[in-house]
Structure 1
């Protein structure tokens, strides 16, 4: 006589170890938190007069004694002027790259601005440099001027791609 025996398969343990998944989850959370913090925009104040001084237009305009504009053009051409283009504190002049050119100019102007700021009661305020590379200037010139900002210790600067008509004429004439 034959006995019908059913063959039963053994049940395997189906437990899954999630230790690695937890580690990866924490790494992803940390990555996205850091990425979100670095993606926040940074805002720089250009030293516009005293904040909240009122509706008077002359009260809210920038202090032209603290602003240096650097115009970059092709063939390593660089023109600097202090103040506003229509009424400069220092007339526009062409400056060369390097230690005896733009670096000396930046250090002299920063020293003068610190002296001016000390007379105004705020000795910690230095020069604000506005760097304006033209469409013809090369990337190396921009890197060079940013390196000069780092060497001279000027940390208040901005790169602007807008040229006024007066600045365009100034670059064309020199």
Structure 2
């Protein structure tokens, strides 16, 4: 580990009875430090490989602007993400004649049940969830709704994120104003 040189200087004396002091040289052996370094490296390599990845798998569409996905009204559920963690939804296509019965509000506790109910009631080939985020909704809301899709075992390709239309923005504003939400 450590070594000290204790050899005397050869016995050269200057004068009677004077002894020269011994020069001690020290040398530290760094071999154990290298071993410790390798142990630390292997520890961190093992701990990083044991942690699971927290990334979500996403299917992204191919860039083909001419090809639009056809969705049946009977199988579509549109989920609108508003401010203050609010969720609005409607089934099929938004119809102004039946707007009050069609446009509904929900929260993150109830939305999973609604997603599962729609999945059970609709043939898998017709099923499509359309997710639209308001400008005032947070990124966390979008991640939470995608997590709900994953938890509810909605197959990839049966949900999509789309831009919200001005009519939907206005409908959310009217609903929030009517309910006293600022």
**Smaller-chain TM-score bracket:** 0.5 to 0.7
CA displacement at 1:44 relative to structure 2:
1.5
Q: Indicate how the Cα distance of structure 1 residues 112 and 20 shifts in structure 2: closer, same or farther if over 3 A, else same.
A: same
Number of residue pairs aligned between Structure 1 and Structure 2: 149
Q: Which of 42, 57, 65 is residue 26 of structure 1 equivalent to? A: 42
Q: Indicate how the Cα distance of structure 1 residues 8 and 77 shifts in structure 2: closer, same or farther if over 3 A, else same.
A: closer
User: Is 1:44 aligned with 2:45?
Assistant: no
Aligned residue number for residue 70 of structure 1: 79
RMSD of the alignment, in Å? 4.8
Is there any run of 5+ residues in structure 1 with no aligned partner, and where? 121-125
TM-score norm. by structure 2 comes to: 0.51
Greater Rg by CA: 2
SS in structure 2 of the partner of residue 12 of structure 1: strand
Q: Indicate how the Cα distance of structure 1 residues 130 and 25 shifts in structure 2: closer, same or farther if over 3 A, else same.
A: same
TM-score norm. by structure 1 comes to: 0.52
User: Is 1:107 aligned with 2:112?
Assistant: no
Is there any run of 5+ residues in structure 2 with no aligned partner, and where? 1-14, 96-100, 176-182
CA displacement at 1:22 relative to structure 2:
1.6
CA displacement at 1:8 relative to structure 2:
2.3
